[in-house]
Structure 1
Amino acid sequence: MASDNYDEEKLLSSSTPPDMNPDFLVIRVVGRIVLSVIKQCWAMCSAMFISMCIFYWIFGGISAFLLLCFSAAGIVYHAGDKMLYHPDNPPNSRIFVPAPRILSLPFESVHFKSLDSTKLHGYLILQPQPLECPTVLFFHGNAGNIGHRLPNAKGLFKHLHANVFLVEYRGYGLSDGCPSESGLYKDAQAALNYLLLRQDIDHSRIIVFGRSLGGGVAVELAHKPSNSDKIACLVIENSFTSIPEMAKQLIPWKGIKYLPLWFHKNKFDSKKKVSGIRCPVIFISGLCDQLVPPSMMLDLYNHCGSERKYLMQIPNGDHNGTWTKPTYYSQLKSSIESIASGRHNLQQEPQHFSIHTV
């Protein structure tokens, strides 16, 4: 037992206290370093935290307001399509497209692809001797479908003795896709290309006609240098200088005139493009247009770069019904014939036709 007590006491006396163990020493050193750093940085951390609180208190409202404005701008930017394109007005316009047969017109229901392979639809109304006639490539406005333009197409077919190709943009009528500015431009070029592939029409007598929104589409098509020798004449009726300029006319908010150009998703900047057009151009302006200010048509005429341009101003013509006025077709026909022969030039004064309703 004595030896056992001696061994136990010797063992206890020779053992290292726990707090003197090397592992505990490392932990203690690291802990002291961390505590020291925290103590030294505490004042700085507290100052930074207080500064952040003050900064947010002062500028947080401004930041939130700017974020709100940015979000609202994005909504308005993408809402531009809904405000401009109305393929469902009137209702069922995407389902039912009246055919030319209802007006006893001979026609082909044409299906072709746009430049990006979007499937498009159109009506090609051909004269009995189509090679002996001009062909009107017709671009309609921002609502409805080509079936709603059949009475106008019949007038062109009858009075101008022309073939008429009515084209539905993407997202309109029986065409696939969704409307967009770049998409409509692709559709217009595809329509012209389609006509140039037809062997039963005269490729040297293609007349591009655009009304309202269609005017912006037609201007884009005609101002391309590659199309300058493919279009015999361009006809623009009751169209606008640009969508941003139209927005200033239609939206009752003074601040809209300060919005940058990039704010508008759809621009259709015809005023800029028309200066590059070289083919003969006829501008038809209804002076009682209640939607597009007639001054825009005069502006387009003045900025047009063609050496052969002609302005028909119809005193009682409104936005959608200028083509219904008496002598409209006879004046249009004579204008096309005279401008094609070169009798009208850059210095010509605008022509006023007093057309009276009956």
Structure 2
Amino acid sequence: MSGFFPSLETFAKGTLATAATLSTLGIGLVYYGQNYLIYPSAFPPGSRIDVAAPSDFELPYEALELKTSDDITLRCYMLPQRKEIGYGEAFIDIPPDMTEEQFIASRPTVMMFHGNGGNLGHRIPLAGIFFKRMRCNVLMMCYRGYGHSEGSPSEKGLRIDAQTGLDYITSHPILKQTPIILYGQSIGGAVAIDLASRNPDKITALVLENTFTSLPSLVPHALPVLGPFAFLCHQKWDSASKIPLIPPTTPILMLSGARDEIVPREHMRVLWEAVAKRGERKKINGSEYKVGLERAKYMEFEYGGHNDTCTQPGYWSAVSEFIASLRSHVLEKQRVSSSSSSSSSSSKASL
């Protein structure tokens, strides 16, 4: 019998070797396979094949193909405003002699960055609210590896995709005249924050919903079994460190679901603290001012989960009011810019 059963020492060594092998395999899967967990672009099933079009919802649109700097084709949707659509907020008064192009240029442009599941087609009803109710131009971004876009998703890739979309707007003969608002849900919020931090002078405002401080800090909650390996997460999306790079004069609306089962509301609260710090008192010409905080707002929805916060009562009213309030902000920004240009011209003339 003693020759049949392995010794305790042999058993222990075998167990240790097996554990080490499984641990190494597990760590390898976590490190190299995390993109499949973070960017489940094929979920729900069919998301890489079946992509709804705005026309399915009776919305006019342009099928837009954007080529990125690393030669990836993104297939997005552009919904430019139209004078004759006949709906929207009552405050919009369209002069009869205003051309279609002038009307488009007079309205804000919303860049939509969706969450990590599904495709842009699933978010068309949300785009419709921006388009119909708020009369915004809407650019629905489709990340690489999502929907019908080429490539595979990654943090580096999505950052390039977002910049490609912004460059399209800022180089467009009509859209470049419009205020640009970034709307991001979940990981889309991280994409929006990153883009704004790298283009502080081009972004007018941000609307952020249920996003996180960073992916490594989210792992222990979203994937508890992988919590001990959070340090291996190479997809950082470190929004907490990028918020301070966004000017305090850039308005930000933060919308949090108190019952979010994926991103704990504490993440949004930490980001809100970072946003609020942009409004700390600063001395300007000898006087103290609270800069920026009055242009930021945080709202928490008691019954909001990760995927249904946008259906909660008061959500879209808050977004609509926020966007309507940007008109005075844009006019002030244009006045300051004009004043600065005049001062610069005067200085050059005096020289």
Q: Which TM bucket (shorter chain)?
A: 0.7 to 0.9
Which residue does 1:37 correspond to in 2?
A: none
The CA deviation at 1:236 is: 0.8
Which residue does 1:316 correspond to in 2?
A: 303
Letter matched to residue 45 of structure 2 = P
1:134 and 1:202 in contact (8 A); partners too: no
Which residue does 1:242 correspond to in 2?
A: 214
Structure (1 or 2) with the larger CA radius of gyration: 1
1:80 aligns with 2:34: yes
Letter matched to residue 202 of structure 2 = K
Which consecutive unaligned segments of at least 5 residues does structure 2 have? Answer: 1-11, 83-102, 279-291, 330-351
> Which of 45, 65, 69 pairs up with 1:91?
45
> Which of 269, 274, 292 pairs up with 2:238?
269
Provide the TM-score with structure 1 as the length reference: 0.73
Question: Paired residues, what number?
Answer: 283
1:210 aligns with 2:179: no
The CA deviation at 1:228 is: 0.6
2:80 and 2:137 in contact (8 A); partners too: yes
1:1-358 correspondence to structure 2 within 5 Å: 69-128=23-82, 129-224=103-198, 227-253=199-225, 256=227, 259=229, 261=231, 263-278=232-247, 279-304=250-275, 306=278, 307=292, 308-338=295-325, 341=328
Which consecutive unaligned segments of at least 5 residues does structure 1 have? Answer: 1-57, 343-358
1:159 and 1:329 in contact (8 A); partners too: no
Provide the TM-score with structure 2 as the length reference: 0.74
1:134 and 1:206 in contact (8 A); partners too: yes
Q: Aligned-pair RMSD on alpha carbons?
A: 2.6
Letter matched to residue 124 of structure 1 = M
Q: 1:298 to 1:66 in 2, by over 3 A?
A: same
Helix, strand or coil for the counterpart of 2:65? Answer: strand
Q: Aligned partners of 1:187, 1:203: CA distance in 2, in Å?
A: 21
Over the matched positions of the two proteins, sequence identity in percent amounts to 38
Q: Aligned partners of 2:297, 2:328: CA distance in 1, in Å?
A: 13
CA-to-aligned-CA distance 1:273-304 (integer Å, 9 cap, x gap): 11222122111112222221111111111012
* Poorly superposed stretches of 4+, deviation over 6 Å: 58-65
2:112 and 2:184 in contact (8 A); partners too: yes
CA-to-aligned-CA distance 1:216-264 (integer Å, 9 cap, x gap): 111111111xx111000011111111111211112334x83x5463x11
1:146 and 1:168 in contact (8 A); partners too: yes
1:310 and 1:339 in contact (8 A); partners too: no
The CA deviation at 1:61 is: 8.9
Q: Aligned partners of 2:43, 2:22: CA distance in 1, in Å?
A: 32
Letter matched to residue 238 of structure 1 = N
Which of 325-334 and 92-101 deviates more?
325-334
Letter matched to residue 163 of structure 1 = N
